[in-house]
Structure 1
């Protein structure tokens, strides 16, 4: 029995369960909410070096790796890249546990870029392992597993730090154990027979058939490879045209790229802001608890929006503008507050508003696209967001440029989100007024469908 027959006999449950198990352990990282206190404290690295030197290295490395990893993911059919992610996580926490040099911490940032760039393999693999009618259900399970893993890890670390007084070294050792389990689980993930663009064995067979039917026998293999390569490029180009052929998809994708770059900057540097407002004294910090609360609040917001009936074609852009303004206010609250609790509250509000909007955006983009188009659109949106983030990092954060302090950085991020909210609020008002002044008369079926996309 070949792999495809085995997958059919297992149904969709086995690959979904294995990927969920991997997602749980890979995201159950108790040490992550305390990374900055660990670097600044036990590792004895200054806050300025962490802010203006170490963290920018991750951004630059991520940008360099994302596109080639995206292509390799489909070509190698997902599983090797997921295993690579698991191995990179293990090596990361080995470095954190057993090395103190700045060079090792620099290598860690490059290594972490491998982890983040290979996330596309995890998110996309499910669509080559389950039937299309199970896409939505399997996707929900995968995201739930990641959420539960992250929340469990953050809660566990906070309890260990606050109630037991566990050292940050031992928190990192525990994390090394959980990510090691994820590496072992990745070995059991089925290998898809074909990718979305690179069809694997099937493409090879088709190419051989075309080559064998040719009058010219010499060079038949090269001709088959050329045909397969042209087919991949043509499929990607068709998916690209379909993905960005709609003005609405372009608008949602623009918000995705702009907002995600700002969100990632805030997420990466918020621990430094917390450490600035209240310098770390292990027993008095609640980073893990705050991250757990953020995840739960954000998940509740994302879940709640799935039960809201809204004509997103009319009100979607206005919604992006309003909640982006909420995010901007939350960032300014963190920047100007001298209370750690207000800073925590601002972060919860910021992350919840982003998770709400990114959920809406994801569904709106995916609603009218095939899965191949969605995967490519997701990759391009992520790449554009990363390019913007790299520009921000190079100008604002990098010590070779402005090298701004953490408070000034957050003022810039708040201003950035204010600009995003202004653009989309004005655009949203225009769209809403246009619908009001020139009402359309869609068929009842389409209207109901658009309101129930989420």
Structure 2
């Protein structure tokens, strides 16, 4: 007879336990959550819904008084939610995000009036700020060797959910003539399904900053030393904190500040991060107010609109562009700034032409091209930044870049969009956004030219040194008279 293993051993060897241990179950649950939380059939028609008979708001109220609240909320909540996500070990913040989405679409369904819609934008800003929990949870429950694969799963499923939602909304609206009011209800149902998923996720035992396991601390020390950062490790088997230890808030903030200084001393990383922040700011502005531009060019009250098809195509082309980045044979270390210059200029042209021609089909086509270029470049920037960073610094740098982008977006929103500032109409706004991208293009043109000049001078100096050494007699050789 073979002695049966203890109950605890049998449980540990069960298929369910192995799935949880290797991250398969949490990844699957997270993908379900990502799909349904991003499947929003009403999203492409939000401006039309707010300005339609259901809400009966004016263009000025929607563009200049309601939409800016999302930007302000996102900016204010981003850093506190980032810290809370790590301190609470991700899962509670995922539940908070799911709850915020349910509240958002419940209010969009039931609430009426300017103040209610502004409060709705606050909850949507909270949900957006909480996305950090979705993209960082999985790293606490799977091994580092699986990071790339599970990141691909989670990001792909959100794009798929967004594309399916946009396509579903367009088909229901244009083929079956379903009212926008019902699309909001379908979106609410999808958010309610998404709300169920996070409750089934296992609670992580560690996090990136506040709660570190010994193995994680050792991995962190190894990754820091591999990137030539000046941190001291007492011995190869020691760890920086005791088992089960946790850092305090002050210690975490000091560590984040030290990492921030070390990371941004790297010139290539700083270059890509500056581009990231500048262009993401403009990208958010164009996305936020594109529907308002389309509604002005072609009103949904008078004609059929195809916003859903456009959002679906732009999402799919963006995903395809992101996949193609790994196959582009280019020397980004040499020509990166000039590539950013040319493609940022193309984004500026897209915005200018959309604004000046005032043709809905031109607007649709250039919007798809605009988003595709951004997805191509932001994926490229993500790869360039992440290539030499540990997971901890990866989260920090991307968080800082997003925060700077939101800070710039808030500044432009206050000045250009908000009724408390200039409160410009949507056509004038897009003229300014196009100019903004043109300025970015000029900045990186100058940076690229300076880099090429510096590189050429360095090569000339090296060649001059080589020639000098070749012309000088060898050591110990004496000239004969």
Mapped partners of 1:159, 1:119: distance in 2: 28
Sort the Cα spacing of 1:312 and 1:439 in 2 relative to 1 into closer, same or farther, 3 A.
farther
Q: Secondary structure at the match of 2:398?
A: helix
Q: Which residue of 2 aligns with 1:56?
A: 68
Larger displacement relative to structure 2 (232-241 or 104-113): 232-241
> In the alignment, is the contact (CA less than 8 A) between 2:351 and 2:433 conserved in 1?
yes
> In the alignment, is the contact (CA less than 8 A) between 1:24 and 1:148 conserved in 2?
yes
Sort the Cα spacing of 1:308 and 1:4 in 2 relative to 1 into closer, same or farther, 3 A.
farther
> In the alignment, is the contact (CA less than 8 A) between 1:194 and 1:202 conserved in 2?
no
> In the alignment, is the contact (CA less than 8 A) between 1:242 and 1:369 conserved in 2?
no
Larger displacement relative to structure 2 (374-383 or 237-246): 237-246
Of 43, 68, 74, 2:86 maps to 74
Mapped partners of 2:213, 2:324: distance in 1: 43
Larger displacement relative to structure 2 (410-419 or 188-197): 188-197
Q: Which residue of 2 aligns with 1:210?
A: none
Larger displacement relative to structure 2 (21-30 or 232-241): 232-241
Sort the Cα spacing of 1:403 and 1:46 in 2 relative to 1 into closer, same or farther, 3 A.
same
Residue ranges of structure 2 left out of the alignment (5+ in a row): 1-7, 216-243, 461-481
- Which residues in structure 2 correspond to 1:300-315 (within 5 Å)? 300-315=320-335
Larger displacement relative to structure 2 (264-273 or 128-137): 128-137
Q: Which residue of 2 aligns with 1:348?
A: 368
Q: How many residue pairs get matched?
A: 420
> In the alignment, is the contact (CA less than 8 A) between 2:20 and 2:26 conserved in 1?
no
Q: Over alpha carbons, which structure has the higher Rg?
A: 2
- CA RMSD, 1 decimal: 2.3
Sort the Cα spacing of 1:234 and 1:102 in 2 relative to 1 into closer, same or farther, 3 A.
closer
Q: Which residue of 2 aligns with 1:11?
A: 22
- Which residues in structure 2 correspond to 1:126-205 (within 5 Å)? 126-199=138-211
Sort the Cα spacing of 1:402 and 1:85 in 2 relative to 1 into closer, same or farther, 3 A.
same
> In the alignment, is the contact (CA less than 8 A) between 1:161 and 1:283 conserved in 2?
no
> In the alignment, is the contact (CA less than 8 A) between 2:210 and 2:247 conserved in 1?
no
Larger displacement relative to structure 2 (171-180 or 95-104): 95-104
* TM-score for the superposition, normalised by structure 2: 0.83
Mapped partners of 1:18, 1:9: distance in 2: 11
Mapped partners of 2:104, 2:189: distance in 1: 12
Sort the Cα spacing of 1:131 and 1:400 in 2 relative to 1 into closer, same or farther, 3 A.
same
Of 242, 245, 248, 2:262 maps to 242
Q: Secondary structure at the match of 1:195?
A: coil
Residue ranges of structure 1 left out of the alignment (5+ in a row): 204-223, 441-454
Q: Which residue of 1 aligns with 2:384?
A: 364
Q: Which runs of 4+ in 1 moved over 3 A?
A: 1-10, 200-203, 224-231, 432-440
> In the alignment, is the contact (CA less than 8 A) between 1:165 and 1:283 conserved in 2?
no
**For each residue in 1:12-62, what CA deviation from the matched residue of structure 2 results, as whole angstroms up to 9, or x when unmatched?**
221211111111111111110000000000210001111110111111111
- Which residues in structure 2 correspond to 1:242-261 (within 5 Å)? 242-261=262-281
Of 272, 296, 305, 2:316 maps to 296
1:399 aligns with 2:403: no
Q: Secondary structure at the match of 1:164?
A: coil
| Alpha-carbon distance, 1:201 to partner | 8.3
Q: Which residue of 2 aligns with 1:93?
A: 105
* TM-score for the superposition, normalised by structure 1: 0.88
> In the alignment, is the contact (CA less than 8 A) between 1:4 and 1:193 conserved in 2?
no
Mapped partners of 2:292, 2:249: distance in 1: 47
Q: Which residue of 2 aligns with 1:65?
A: 77
1:389 aligns with 2:400: no
Q: Secondary structure at the match of 2:57?
A: coil
1:409 aligns with 2:421: no
Mapped partners of 1:25, 1:180: distance in 2: 9
Of 275, 288, 291, 1:268 maps to 288
Q: Which residue of 2 aligns with 1:447?
A: none
Mapped partners of 1:138, 1:165: distance in 2: 39
Of 418, 421, 425, 2:445 maps to 425
Of 104, 115, 119, 2:131 maps to 119
Mapped partners of 2:57, 2:20: distance in 1: 53
Mapped partners of 1:415, 1:102: distance in 2: 31
Sort the Cα spacing of 1:149 and 1:4 in 2 relative to 1 into closer, same or farther, 3 A.
farther
| Alpha-carbon distance, 1:427 to partner | 1.4
Q: Which residue of 2 aligns with 1:211?
A: none
**For each residue in 1:408-437, what CA deviation from the matched residue of structure 2 results, as whole angstroms up to 9, or x when unmatched?**
000000000000011112212332454456
Q: Secondary structure at the match of 1:197?
A: coil
Mapped partners of 1:307, 1:10: distance in 2: 33
**For each residue in 1:215-272, what CA deviation from the matched residue of structure 2 results, as whole angstroms up to 9, or x when unmatched?**
xxxxxxxxx9997445423432342233212111111110111111110000000000
> In the alignment, is the contact (CA less than 8 A) between 2:317 and 2:372 conserved in 1?
yes
Larger displacement relative to structure 2 (364-373 or 181-190): 181-190
1:27 aligns with 2:38: yes
| Alpha-carbon distance, 1:130 to partner | 1.1
Q: Which residue of 1 aligns with 2:224?
A: none
